[in-house]
Chains A and B, each alone.
Chain A
């Protein structure tokens, strides 16, 4: 046992020394988190920006005080930019068809009278190939109509009867108590960093060693293969702790309050990394080139953004996708991270998730060992 621990520590130290001597890998270990967060900031700022310039064409076919009031609201919106005011419906649709505008709003003839009698309509044509912008336009028109109704109910906007506000309002109260923002995906990004980092460690630890011809020498040394793998695993654990700490510092600098127990966060990322490492070891027994393994790792990463609940909850996936998400241990890791960091959940809540990750690694590690021995 003593020998086993000594061998494991020797391999761990060797791995960390090798990483220190390889500037590209060292930079990569640090750059992965920073670049991912950079991308997140761009995406989040695009979605949470208070003003956009989505080009919209408006045709006011009514010319009544009510339609003018609606037009005022549309032109003063910070989300859309009314680029043209046209006279006919066709003139409004034309820029949408040729890509000059994302949407066209048609205020039909008789809008003011219809509003007074209690039921009016507005036509919105959108280029739905730009789905987010289209949703913003519909949302803005909805909001403007709602504001107009409020104005009408107060006797403003030239009409003062008939129209009413929506009868039932939904008030949302998130249990985290945080304002709605894109920050919910950050714990998933932390999970992704753990996955990517562990995959990269595998490329460094096994494939490159094979390419350099040092792996057979290592396997033939009087150190058991289990100790070799264990040592490489501990090196990954050390690196995962460093990556997690770096991410948490970035989160804190970004003003995100982390609620849960820090040790539990570290434990979760370590378990995610260990599972990824076990899978990577299994795959590396078959795929030997480091570049090939890296490409495979990246090819797997992009679908994981959706399927393992990194950017969106697996609950929102189609039934088939939800089944796949349920069968991926990473989903449980990302879920646990969100609950710990966002809701301050303890081991009693995320214990099941962590157990799934642990058991999956426990099953995969011997498989990796057997496959490696066979292919040696």
Chain B
């Protein structure tokens, strides 16, 4: 078969896919609306826009109990109340009553300045502040402790009202200052790399593996395989269809992130698109492979859910690969998505040129070729069985 007719067949398959997609309102809704909009908007809601900053502890009600009644403890109170990190600090006079309020959702922490606080400071001893926290709220306890510690470590009892701390100052501990270098990123920008990858994986897997299983359930799969169209054309046609959808999704996510939430990716749009499509291609390869295993539509969706949960744990999506231990790190090193997320982060956040990420790109391309080859063999066997 000539290359021309191979391509013609592939385009015919892609056209057929588009026609089916156009007729399926739910597929359009999920693929181009729910997934890109819902995920990006949720990220924006959770993290705030890329340009906005907020203090996580600013609006958490915290009680302050001063048992020392000294100038130093008063200055600590003034320092905290004048900071943008403790806007809901409530003065309380009874330590036991304040602690009893914890767990009732009225207050989430109690800062207690014990008797002798000023004396300790005057005598050159280390003074102490006790922080009681409602640790049933995940993350809150650590966040309050970390913010309060940064103020306490830099507290100067001789200064009446201390200006709130800059990010740089917070890293310093009294006599040894830690100067941090390296770009800092808004939570939204970090989240964008995750959202872009998850949306592409979610949608591409559903469209390829789900699409094939739908054809199987509707009875058109066997017909498609026994037509004179080569398997390669079927795979390429479906890939072309999904690449176009993935391109649209990339633009929707990036458009919403950039124009809706002020994200500023540190790279050009072409590199971003290329990476996003590479992630989609790796997933499509996996989708074709899964479809060769004769899964039903519902099974595909369930496998997809667990695939994403699996990636959350093992591919550096939530936990950096460097933090994984033992077998988890081995799995992370094998998964092509680990390299995809690494490449996405390095380009979007650090602005590393795409072509300099050769090892990441090679690994992704290699996995793509392998999964497509495996899927091709499975589909070929499927066709042989049908013809026999």
Contacts and interface: CB of A to CB of B under 8 A. Distances in A.
Interface of A: 24, 28, 35-36, 39, 42-43, 45-47, 49, 51-55, 96-99, 102, 115, 118-134, 136, 138, 141-142, 145-146, 148-149, 162-176, 178, 180, 184-185, 188, 203, 287, 289-292, 294-296, 298-303, 306-307, 309, 311-313, 315-322, 324, 335, 338-339, 342-343, 345, 349
Given A119-B175, A318-B46, A318-B48, 14 more contacts: A39-B309, A54-B320, A115-B176, A124-B179, A129-B345, A138-B178, A149-B175, A166-B152, A167-B156, A170-B128, A289-B26, A292-B26, A318-B52, A321-B46
B47 to A, nearest CB: 6
Given A120-B177, A318-B45, A349-B103, A342 B184 contact: no
A299 B35 contact: yes
A171 B113 CA distance: 11
Given A42-B328, A133-B323, A306-B42, A169 B128 contact: yes
Nearest to B175: A163
A24 B319 CA distance: 31
A338 B45 CA distance: 23
Among B181, B198, B313, B314, max chain A CB count under 10 A is at B181
Contacts of B178: 121-122, 124, 138, 141-142, 145
B126 A121 contact: no
Nearest to A348: B104
Contacts of A124: 171, 178-181
Interface stretch (B227-235, B243-251, B300-308, B369-377): B300-308
B350 A172 contact: no
B175 to A, nearest CB: 4
Given A287-B26, A289-B26, A321-B46, A142 B171 contact: yes
B30 interface: yes
Given A128-B184, A172-B145, A291 B297 contact: yes
B121 A171 contact: no
B135 A175 contact: yes
B7 interface: no
Nearest to A303: B42
A175 B99 contact: yes
Contact of A295 (B121, B182, B206, B324): B206
B56 A173 contact: no
A174 B142 CA distance: 10
A164 B175 contact: yes
Contact of B298 (A54, A180, A290): A290
Interface string B144-178: 01001100110111000000000000011111111
A321 B47 contact: yes
Contact of B133 (A49, A52, A174, A294): A174
Contact of A167 (B104, B127, B346): B127
A43 B52 contact: no
B323 A49 contact: yes
A134 B320 CA distance: 10
A339 B108 CA distance: 12
A107 B116 CA distance: 37
A120 B179 CA distance: 10
A164 B174 contact: yes
A168 B128 contact: yes
A180 B30 contact: no
A287 B312 CA distance: 28
B221 interface: no
Given A43-B319, A99-B346, A339-B103, A174 B179 contact: no
A300 B149 CA distance: 37
A161 to B, nearest CB: 11
B95 to A, nearest CB: 12
A172 B127 CA distance: 14
A130 B309 contact: no
B174 A311 contact: no
A203 B296 CA distance: 15
Given A125-B181, A142-B178, A173 B127 contact: no
Contacts of A349: 103-104
Contact of B39 (A122, A172, A203, A302): A302
21 contacts: A43-B318, A46-B328, A52-B323, A52-B325, A102-B322, A122-B179, A127-B182, A128-B182, A149-B175, A166-B126, A170-B130, A172-B133, A291-B301, A298-B202, A299-B39, A303-B42, A306-B42, A315-B137, A316-B143, A338-B138, A339-B136
A129 B190 contact: yes
A99 B342 contact: yes
A184 B367 CA distance: 37
B46 A306 contact: yes
Contact of B136 (A39, A131, A343): A343
Contacts of B129: 168-171
A121 B171 CA distance: 11
Given A128-B182, A345-B103, A299 B30 contact: yes
B54 A318 contact: yes
Nearest to A345: B103
Contact of B176 (A43, A54, A122, A345): A122
B185 A128 contact: yes
B134 interface: yes
B387 interface: no
Given A122-B177, A165-B174, A291 B210 contact: yes
